């Protein structure tokens, strides 16, 4: 069986309850623009890359480990892994 | 006694820290590049301030995985005093050597100003020449010094006397107005469970001589001199 390449997308968000000064400021900016109904703005980040692994489960396990080790800080952030589509060989 | 000042790509308080140790506190200090893997010859390890790796991803996140951090961890386990200043504190948090994390300053601004700090405990190698309640005047210079810990960790820190410094006003009161960055419970510095690893956001190396406006930071070096020489 040959390895497959996945297009990975990791979404990192601040945990609920963790103060997000950046989100609050973006919200204030949107309201200044007239979007007064905007509420609850939170700013996160998306990290994209490709990964070659034996299969979907192996890819997921590796990305999960990457998130814990570096991509997210579990003290303040949560992360979601999207394995996306398998890249055609 | 010999001190190591760890230099990461993007450290910028390394020379000031080296000077404060060598010339002011009279502690022989070496610059140690972040690729080093052995710190066993040092009695004190300092992670200086700066913008290691351009603050990419999160402040301190990349530096926390530098080769030298294995040796810093080993030094911490041996009981060697380890001090993280500003970005050095952020690195120790990201490396898991201290609890909690840093968020962006509540103001969203880079805060560069003088602050008053209250020593909360003299039971660390970096505060043992002080008394709890002493008020020191040191400068801060950071964009992400808004200390966060979850309620369980905050309680653990409080119950085990591991909050080392708090932001206070000139009279020693921990008010909201005296909190420059929104830090939880006005926390400016904490220590490890074994008490030998300390991180703080303010800069003792910039406040060790009267010529620089304050000698408030000198007592931190004096403390560790006592701790190591005993």
Q: What CATH number corresponds to the domain at position B104?
A: 3.40.50.880
Contact B39, B82 (CB under 8 A): no
Q: Regarding beta strands B135-142 and B111-119, do their DSSP bridges make them parallel or antiparallel, or are they unpaired?
A: antiparallel
Query: Would you call A22 and B107 a contact, using CB atoms and an 8 Å cutoff?
Result: no
Q: What is the mean pLDDT of chain B?
A: 96
pLDDT (0 to 100) of residue A16: 92
Pairwise CA distance, residues B130 & B123, whole Å: 9
Pairwise CA distance, residues B63 & A27, whole Å: 32
Judge whether B86 counts as a catalytic residue: yes
pLDDT (0 to 100) of residue B209: 93
Contact B38, B69 (CB under 8 A): no
pLDDT (0 to 100) of residue B80: 98
pLDDT (0 to 100) of residue A89: 59
Pairwise CA distance, residues B92 & B99, whole Å: 9
Q: Tell me what the mean pLDDT of segment B81-101 comes to.
A: 98
pLDDT (0 to 100) of residue A86: 75
CA B44 to chain centre: 13
SS3 (DSSP) at A86: strand
* Residue B210 clears pLDDT 80, i.e. is over it: yes
Which of A20, A71, A75 is the closest to B101 by Cβ? A75
Residue A85 touches partner B, C-beta closer than 8 Å = no
Predicted confidence (pLDDT) per residue in B5-15, tens digit: 999 999 999 99
ipTM of the complex: 0.82
Residues spanned by the domain of B192: 3-229
Judge whether B203 counts as a catalytic residue: yes
* Residue B230 clears pLDDT 70, i.e. is over it: no
Q: Which long-range contacts (CB under 8 A, 24 or more apart) does A48-52 make?
A: A48/A7, A48/A8, A48/A9, A48/A10, A49/A8, A50/A5, A50/A6, A50/A7, A50/A8, A50/A87, A51/A5, A51/A6, A51/A8, A52/A3, A52/A4, A52/A5, A52/A6
Predicted confidence (pLDDT) per residue in B37-78, tens digit: 999 999 999 999 999 999 999 999 999 999 999 999 999 999
Q: What is the CATH number of domain A4-18+44-87?
A: 3.30.1280.10
Task: For residue A2, give both structure tokens.
Answer: 């040959």
Domain count, chain B: 1
Query: Would you call B101 and A70 a contact, using CB atoms and an 8 Å cutoff?
Result: no
Judge whether B209 counts as a catalytic residue: no
The ranges assigned to domains in chain A are 4-18+44-87
Q: pTM of this prediction?
A: 0.93
Query: Which residues, at least 6 apart from B209, have a Cβ–Cβ distance to it below 8 Å?
Result: B20, B24, B215, B218
Q: Tell me what the mean pLDDT of segment A28-42 comes to.
A: 96
Q: Tell me what the mean pLDDT of segment A72-88 comes to.
A: 89
* Residue B182 clears pLDDT 70, i.e. is over it: yes
* Residue B160 clears pLDDT 70, i.e. is over it: yes
């Amino acid at each position: 069986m040959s390895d497959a390449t996945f297009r990975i997308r990791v979404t990192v968000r601040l945990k609920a309850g963790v103060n997000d000064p950046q989100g609050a400021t973006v919200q204030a900016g949107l309201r200044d623009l007239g979007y007064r109904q905007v509420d609850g703005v939170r700013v996160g980040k998306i990290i994209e890359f490709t990964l070659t692994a034996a299969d979907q489960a192996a890819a997921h396990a590796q990305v999960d480990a990457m998130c814990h080790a570096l991509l997210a800080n579990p003290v303040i952030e949560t992360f979601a892994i999207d394995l996306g589509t398998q890249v055609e060989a | 006694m010999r001190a190591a000042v760890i230099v990461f790509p993007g450290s910028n308080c390394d020379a000031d820290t080296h000077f404060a140790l060598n010339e002011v506190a009279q502690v022989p200090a070496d610059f140690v590049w972040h690729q080093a893997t052995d710190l066993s010859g040092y009695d004190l390890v300092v992670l200086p301030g700066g913008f290691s790796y351009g603050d990419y991803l999160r402040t301190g996140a990349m530096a926390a995985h530098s080769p030298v951090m294995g040796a810093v961890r080993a030094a911490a386990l041996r009981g060697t005093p380890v001090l993280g200043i500003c970005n050095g504190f952020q690195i120790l948090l990201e490396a898991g050597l201290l609890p909690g994390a840093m968020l962006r300053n509540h103001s969203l601004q880079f805060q560069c100003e003088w602050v008053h700090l209250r020593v909360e405990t003299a039971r660390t190698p970096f505060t043992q020449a002080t008394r709890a309640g002493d008020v020191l005047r040191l400068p801060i210079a950071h964009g992400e010094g808004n200390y966060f810990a979850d309620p369980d960790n905050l309680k653990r820190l409080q119950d085990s006397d591991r909050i080392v410094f708090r932001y206070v006003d000139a009279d020693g009161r921990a008010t909201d107005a005296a909190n420059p960055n929104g830090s939880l419970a006005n926390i400016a510095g904490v220590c490890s469970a074994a008490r030998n690893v300390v991180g703080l956001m303010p800069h003792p190396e910039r406040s060790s001589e009267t010529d620089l406006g304050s000698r408030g930071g000198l007592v931190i070096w004096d403390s560790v001199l006592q701790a190591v020489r005993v």
